[in-house]
Structure 1
């Protein structure tokens, strides 16, 4: 018995529907990716032209406990959305290698003379990108009220790093305690002492205050940050150099960066931020003897190049 021919199946519309849904999903994914990508790019640019929002910048310092850093860190966050992480060092020899090795983004602990000598001796090329202040270098005594009161052959401690040693010797010469070969230079060493009324001894810069306070020396050259940390009163200063004199120009303290980062806008913003009135108010309360300097980065770099050449000449390189 014959059967009627089978009717053709009704077209299946579900496959078409699935295709449409899949196409819509692809379009949505693409649109979302574009939107997110756009939002991500905008989030990476701050109003000041910095490279990233909420970026963390590590700054090596030798005086993290000083109060002026509090408004500085707060302003970095509120003005530039930058989280500043202060990394404290007790030894002056550490922050520059740490910066060079990318353990830090910037450092702010040294003056041009120190940086130039570091570059000359290490072959590095770190550069200043902002100035802070020139601090006087004082000679402290807990027993003598003047240079004249120091006993004959009294022991006097000065920092043992090359640049602060030279500057300390110049302070002692200014006080009439030593005379230096050819009048002394920014690179003088203890073996350049031609005559002396005291016994000069060199110790690590972070140990000068403790040497004084322990009574092992009658007087000591103590850098500002270590004097502040040791709570040495300004009344115990018996002589100091003049931070406002032209000869003090190489001793302006600076923010330093790797050479590749000298045009980094975030870093330049942070160097300039140090001069904000809110920071300066606290800084000058803590450091009334300092002379604030706001020298352009290009001038600082030119001075560093000059002093670096002097350092190489002094070392016979």
Structure 2
């Protein structure tokens, strides 16, 4: 099995928050108010075409946008909470809920953007036919493991000991009632498993790096299902800016035709546009926070 050929590794990620404390919590909010505002937006993928399109469309609406790129997934929320940013767009609602819970922050989503489905890939196959009895490799990180297991639940390949878990673990799988064996490995190892013929759930970041066509999946989660709601991506602000009309209007530019065309190109057509009210987004975050 693939697992026997995987060497366990531990990666230490250094996170730099240099300069974040230099701005007070009011600095960015002031610049985002009034006419012709300058709005500072944080992300982790500023090189994508969607961000260039977003800047162009924002200018047409009278906004000056400063996009700041971060190399990790923690610093954009730190920068937002400390006032170095007005908003950020890089995370889904589950990640936001976990961050708020762990750090005692009150960051809130205001405009939904999209869901990027998480998918199962099986080399040289175009369906689930014949997959029963196979070992399936999934990422073992906290962000993707529970979602990956629920993908297999939706595919009717895995049964859980208790239904409805948002973030099930391997221990929650009822192996006797399931049709496949599930093995969790480092996310970076999932493309290698796929290359050796093992069915694997691979997130988009590693698909791109491995040159795997995202449209060749044999199954993916349903972006319209309740199970997918935690993975809605959104523009996020501090609680005091939840009703800031300038920031909200800017965030809504993401749904312009030009930006959506660029998002589709970036994701090779796999991203699904999502529009939810701030109230609906908050309700999802509240539900997730309560379940943590």
Indicate the TM-score class for this superposition, using the shorter chain for normalisation: 0.7 to 0.9
Q: Which runs of 5+ in 2 are unaligned?
A: 1-29
Per the alignment, do residues 127 and 210 of structure 1 end up closer, same or farther by CA in structure 2, a change over 3 Å counting? same
Residue range with higher mean Cα deviation, 144-153 or 256-265: 144-153
**TM-score scaled by structure 1?**
0.69
In structure 2, what is the equivalent of residue 4 of structure 1?
A: none
Per the alignment, do residues 101 and 142 of structure 1 end up closer, same or farther by CA in structure 2, a change over 3 Å counting? farther
In structure 2, what is the equivalent of residue 275 of structure 1?
A: 255
1:80-130: per-residue Cα shift (whole Å, max 9, x none)? 3413314143x4455333433445432212222222233233322211011
In structure 1, what is the equivalent of residue 3 of structure 2?
A: none
Pairs within 5 Å for 1:140-151: 140-150=121-131
Q: Is the 8 A contact 1:109 1:254 kept in 2?
A: yes
Pairs within 5 Å for 1:33-112: 50-51=33-34, 53=36, 55=38, 57-61=40-44, 63-89=45-71, 91-112=72-93
Cα drift, residue 232 of structure 1: 2.2
Residues in 1 aligned to 2:190 and 2:237: alpha-carbon distance in whole angstroms = 29
Cα drift, residue 131 of structure 1: 0.6
Q: Is the 8 A contact 1:120 1:308 kept in 2?
A: yes
1:191-237: per-residue Cα shift (whole Å, max 9, x none)? 21221522411425xx265544664x823323335434544213431
Q: Is the 8 A contact 1:208 1:222 kept in 2?
A: no
- Residue 204 (structure 2) aligned to one of 224, 227, 237: 224
In structure 2, what is the equivalent of residue 258 of structure 1?
A: 238
Residue 284 of structure 1 pairs with residue 264 of structure 2: yes
Residues in 2 aligned to 1:230 and 1:95: alpha-carbon distance in whole angstroms = 26
1:124-149: per-residue Cα shift (whole Å, max 9, x none)? 22110111122221112335444344
- Residue 184 (structure 2) aligned to one of 194, 201, 223: 201
Pairs within 5 Å for 1:129-148: 129-148=110-129
Q: Which runs of 5+ in 1 are unaligned?
A: 1-44, 312-317
RMSD of aligned residue pairs (Cα, Å): 3.1
When the two structures are aligned, how many residues end up with a matched partner?
Answer: 260
Residues in 2 aligned to 1:65 and 1:227: alpha-carbon distance in whole angstroms = 17
In structure 2, what is the equivalent of residue 122 of structure 1?
A: 103
**TM-score scaled by structure 2?**
0.74
Per the alignment, do residues 264 and 132 of structure 1 end up closer, same or farther by CA in structure 2, a change over 3 Å counting? same
Specify the structure having the higher radius of gyration (Cα).
Answer: 1
Cα drift, residue 186 of structure 1: 0.6
Secondary structure in structure 2 of the residue aligned to 1:181: coil
Greater helix share, structure number: 1
Residues in 2 aligned to 1:136 and 1:230: alpha-carbon distance in whole angstroms = 18
